[in-house]
Structure 1
């Protein structure tokens, strides 16, 4: 039988919410491990400049990740690679966390798995991932210097990344299925001031085409005229929404019909000793600041829960 590693608290995910939870729980002298299938920092690593985090006029996403990680492990919290496959609640109310790299047992679990970008689901999207289709301008923008690219979407992420790309590529064309943007006014203003950002309204991307090695064009469909057309582009950056990373927890009965985890204002789910924080929660505002607040609360509540046992 595989050895089970025992901790007071297992935190699933090491983004800003998970790392803050680790800081608070470990400062309370609890044994803590963060399990993540990627690099600590989560989506912060894909963000060039963060301008709305208190204490910084501007900070690079990877730099903030490093600072948070240093804080989160300062009081003994550990970090482990792994993909969580399932959580089981045992008869003694302890939680068994099954991963692809071994099993863990803990008195409390904090789920901080975040969310990921929704895909368009059109022909060519999967074929050209890494060959012109991207969900991260900061990661891939430099590959398109001197080129024309398309950004799909009209929310904060789409416009923020479009502005970033406008400083890297030759021209950015934002394709949006509506006739107005839903991004924050300050972001809209920046995009509209940029001389190399264009907008195509009331239009959807219906296919992504290329020569097999790289993207060459997108097929556009105008929702008003019902006409299709081709638009030449070297890259397609897609920002049309988020979906929660909760596949491993759907059988626990703690999610809504879209998969977001439901908690109270203390980050507690309907299962005693199971908490959720950050972007994976059912909530309105998904920002680093709100993730950090969630993490602090959950770390303290995990301590209170364990102290009550």
Structure 2
């Protein structure tokens, strides 16, 4: 059933960034309204063991998100299970439209819609995701101490993931579909100097091999002649990029060439006054739960300061900052 709701702070998206923004906004008596989106809790809901969240030696990703959501509700946030399909950041107050036509308005907006890893699109990749297949070396590299892993990709992210994994793994294969990397020269020099990394050129992963429980290897296809060969490996890290969930905001907010929302240095403020972006939707470098939570805190505090300096009438009359793309 369609409903219309207004809040001082409208939060679009959940996960560590959205939930933390809601906690801080609620404690500031801003009566936030949080729209959870298609995947309530974000990427951590499909993550198994999380061992780098402060205060927990180990916690399951879905359990951590359930705890955050419970805290959000406890402090008084209105949580709505809906998906935003349209936004108008030129209107004052700002307007977001849900999947069923419900209209949500806010005097300030926090965007926490996150990003998703690009995957290879293999059925076996999906089957072993979280059981040997990962898109985050920083998150999961620790589990491969003394073991053999493979990284797929040819850009800076792939090389940096491979280099990071040498802190744990005994052997790291870097699989690239071409004969040369796209990574910058500094990263390529570091890769060549590391004896634990072995590049495999002109190759693509045709299948992820496993015993039904965990990954045991990869089937590689040579892109030049189509020949297949097996490679023994305990884990596969896919590093072919991320896609920020920013389609709703295109042509309304300044973004970089990959679609990440641009924010002011040391801030979560976007190109539109009163609109703030937190977490993976603007962070192309770290993409960690703890940094997303930190940015959610920043966004709520900045929204509070913005609202303190603007009466509702002034908010309604003030034009947004120019948008560049």
Tell me the residue number matched to 1:146.
none
The answer to whether the 8 A contact 1:176-1:199 is kept is no
Task: State whether structure 2 residue 301 is matched by structure 1 residue 300.
Answer: yes
Q: Is the 8 A contact 1:177 1:202 kept in 2?
A: no
Q: CA deviation at 1:193?
A: 7.1
* Change beyond 3 A, Cα 1:178–1:244: closer
TM-aligned CA distance change 1:152 to 1:67, over 3 Å: closer
Q: Go from structure 1 to structure 2 and tell me whether the alpha carbon gap of 1:57 and 1:158 turns closer, same or farther (over 3 Å shift).
A: closer
2:126 paired residue number: 134
- Tell me by how many angstroms 1:300 deviates: 1.3
**Secondary structure, aligned partner of 2:240:** coil
Match of 2:267 in 1: 266
State the partner residue of 2:99.
100
In structure 2, what is the equivalent of residue 183 of structure 1? Answer: 161
1:248 aligns with 2:224: no
SS in 2 for 1:133: helix
Alignment partner of 1:288 is 2:269? no
| Whole-Å separation in 1 of the counterparts to 2:202 and 2:36 | 35
Alpha-carbon separation, structure 1, partners of 2:290 and 2:134: 26
Distance 1:207 1:31, change over 3 A: same
1:12 and 1:307 map into 2 onto residues whose CA distance is: 21
Displacement after TM superposition at 1:76 (Å): 0.8
Counterparts of 1:207 and 1:44 in 2: how far apart (Å)?
25
Instruction: Say if 1:278 and 1:136 are closer, same or farther in 2 by CA, change over 3 A.
Output: farther
Q: Closer, same or farther in 2 for the Cα pair 1:116/1:161, shift >3 Å? A: farther
Change (3 A) 1:236 1:134: farther
What secondary structure sits across from 1:10 in the alignment?
A: strand
The unaligned stretches of length 5 or more in structure 2 are: 173-195, 209-217, 311-325
Structure 1 gap ranges (5+): 142-148, 167-171, 211-216
**Residue aligning to 2:150:** 174
Cα distance change of structure 1 residues 68 and 189 upon mapping to structure 2, 3 Å threshold: same
Partners of 1:202 and 1:158 lie apart in 2 by 24
1:209 shift after superposition: 7.1
User: Counterparts of 1:152 and 1:42 in 2: how far apart (Å)?
Assistant: 16
Q: Distance in 2 between matches of 1:96 and 1:8?
A: 12
Residue equivalent to 2:24: 24
**Deviation at residue 97 of structure 1 after TM alignment:** 0.3
68-77 or 102-111: bigger deviation: 68-77
Query: Scaled by the length of structure 2, what TM-score is found?
Result: 0.70
Q: For each residue in 1:29-51, what CA deviation from the matched residue of structure 2 results, as whole angstroms up to 9, or x when unmatched? A: 11212212334321112222222
- In the other structure, the counterpart of 2:257 is 257
CA displacement at 1:308 relative to structure 2: 1.8
Q: In the TM superposition, what is the alpha-carbon distance from 1:191 to its structure 2 partner?
A: 2.8
Contact map agreement 1:156 1:182 (CA 8 A) in 2: no
Alignment of 1:1-309 (within 5 A): 3-91=3-91, 93-101=92-100, 102-120=102-120, 125=121, 131-134=123-126, 137-138=129-130, 141=131, 156=137, 160=141, 163=144, 174=150, 176-177=152-153, 181-183=159-161, 187-192=165-170, 201-203=199-201, 206=204, 208=206, 218=219, 220-221=221-222, 226-231=224-229, 238-264=238-264, 265-309=266-310
What's the offset of the Cα at 1:78? 1.9
Distance in 2 of aligned mates of 1:27 and 1:249:
28
Distance 2:305 2:128 in 1: 39
